[in-house]
């Protein structure tokens, strides 16, 4: 699986770390959060799983995190967010 570079930035807390910030309880919850954030902010988010198995929506995946999905913002307000499976 591709690995990100840099440290993970949690968009919900603003913390930069590799797993100590807020995590979603399930992959589906992390996807919903990433979708909402991508739509609201107009930027791409990643759903990642850290070494402890926790899921999070992040802007920059940390080294050692598995990228589960890439959530791109809609191209216009009339489109829905798109999930790309890694």
pLDDT, one tens digit per residue, over 34-79 is: 999 999 999 999 999 999 999 999 999 999 899 999 999 988 655 5
φ, ψ at 66 (rounded to 5°): -90, 125
pTM tops 0.75, yes or no? no
In this prediction, residue 18 carries a pLDDT of: 46
In this prediction, residue 57 carries a pLDDT of: 95
In this prediction, residue 1 carries a pLDDT of: 43
Would you place residue 28 in the very low, low, confident or very high pLDDT band (cuts 50, 70, 90)? very high
């Amino acid at each position: 699986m591709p690995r990100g570079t840099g440290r993970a930035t949690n968009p919900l807390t603003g913390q930069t770390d590799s797993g100590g910030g807020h995590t979603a309880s399930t992959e589906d919850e992390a996807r919903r959060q990433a979708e909402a954030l991508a739509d609201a902010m107009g930027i791409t988010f990643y759903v990642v799983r850290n070494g402890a198995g926790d899921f999070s929506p992040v802007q920059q995946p940390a080294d050692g995190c598995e990228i589960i999905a890439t959530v791109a913002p809609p191209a216009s307000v009339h489109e829905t967010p798109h999930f790309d499976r890694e």
